[in-house]
Amino acid sequence: PKCKHQTCMINFHRDLKNVVSSRSMASKTPVGFVGLGNMGTPMAKNLLKNGYPVIATDVFPESRKELQDTGAQVVDSPADVAEKADRIITMLPSSPNVIEVYTGPNGILKKVKKGTLLIDSSTIDPAVSKEMAVAAEKMGAVFMDAPVSGGVGAASMGKLTFMVGGVEQEYNAAQELLTCMGANVVYCGQVGTGQAAKICNNMLLAIGMIGTAETMNLGIRLGLDPKLLAKILNMSSGRCWSSDTYNPVPGVMEGVPSANSYQGGFGTTLMAKDLGLAQNTATNTKTTIPLGSLAHQIYRVMCARGYANKDFSSVFQFLREEEGQ
C-alpha cells in the first residue's frame, strides 16, 4: 500500500495538472490573422494545429479559402477581425500595406477592442512600427513588432525566429502565441527594435550571399569542382550560412532554391525591399554601409533584369549572365 505522503504527492500533481490544463484551455481564445501569403498561411495553420481558433482575412479570396478549408473562420476585412479577436497577428508585404491594414477605412483600429494585443510580423521601416504603436495606444490597444527570420520552410515547420519589439510587460502574452509558430522568440527592446534586428540580419545575409556567389563563380572559372569548393569553404574560415545551408550554385545542395531553378525561397524583390529599408535607416542615422548600399544596387538591377520572382540566391546566375556565360 502507498504511504500517506505518496498519496498526497499524487493528488498534488493531479491538481496541478488540472490547474495548468484549465489555464491553457482558457488561453485558447480566438486569434486574429491578417495577411495569408507565403508566410502568413503556414503561420496561421500552426496556430490552428496548436488548438487556437483563428479568425482570418486576406485581400485575395483564394488565400482566404485555403485557410478556411483547414478550419479557420474567414471574414471580409481587418476591422471584422478586430471585432471578433483581442489578439491579432499581421503578416504583410510592406509599410504601405501595414498602414492600410491598421489605419485604413476598414482597418483594425476602426473596431479594435481596448486591451487588444496587436503583433505585426511584417518587415517594415521601424519608424512605421512606432507610428502604428502610437495609433494603437490611442485606441487602448498594444502594438508590438515581431518580424521573422527563416523563410517559408521554417514557417511551415514552426521553426521561425521572431525578433520582438514593444512594451516588456506584454512580451509574455506575445511569446505564448509566437512559440506556436517559431523555435526562437527574442525580446529586442522598445517598439521598432525587432525591425532593426531583422533589417541588420538581412543586410548581412545579402552581402554574404553575393560574396558566396562571387567566390563560387571564381572557383569554377579556375577549374575547381563546385561541390569540392563548397566543401572546402565550409571547413574553412570563409564558411557562412549562404555557403553551407543555402548554396547558390545549382547541383551543390539538394532541397534549396538553386536546385529548383531558383523557385520558392526568399524572393529577390523582397530582398531588394529589405535592403532599401537598411539604406533608409542608414541614411536617417548617418551610418556608413558601403557593402549594404552596393548589395541594394545589385538586387535592384536584378529585379529589372527578370530575377524579381526568383530566390535571392539567383545572384549567382545573374553574375554568370553578366559575364556572358
Q: How far apart are CA 146 and CA 189, in angstroms?
A: 11
Q: How far is CA 171 from CA 82, 124, 187, 245, 265, in A?
A: 20, 20, 7, 31, 29
Which cell goes with 238? Answer: 570563409
| Strand 87-90 with 148-149, pairing | unpaired
Could you say which of 17, 110, 138, 198 is catalytic?
198
| Whole-number CA gyration radius for the chain | 23
Compute CA 318 distance to the chain's CA centroid, rounded to the nearest angstrom: 26
User: Quick check: is 65 catalytic?
Assistant: no
Q: How far apart are CA 37 and CA 43, in angstroms?
A: 10
Which DSSP letter does residue 311 get?
A: B
User: Collapsing DSSP states into helix, strand and coil, what is residue 196?
Assistant: helix
Which cell goes with 98? Answer: 501595414
Q: Which residues lie below 8 Å from residue 249, measured CB to CB, with a gap of 6+?
A: 213, 216, 220, 226, 230, 258, 316
Which residues belong to the active site?
198
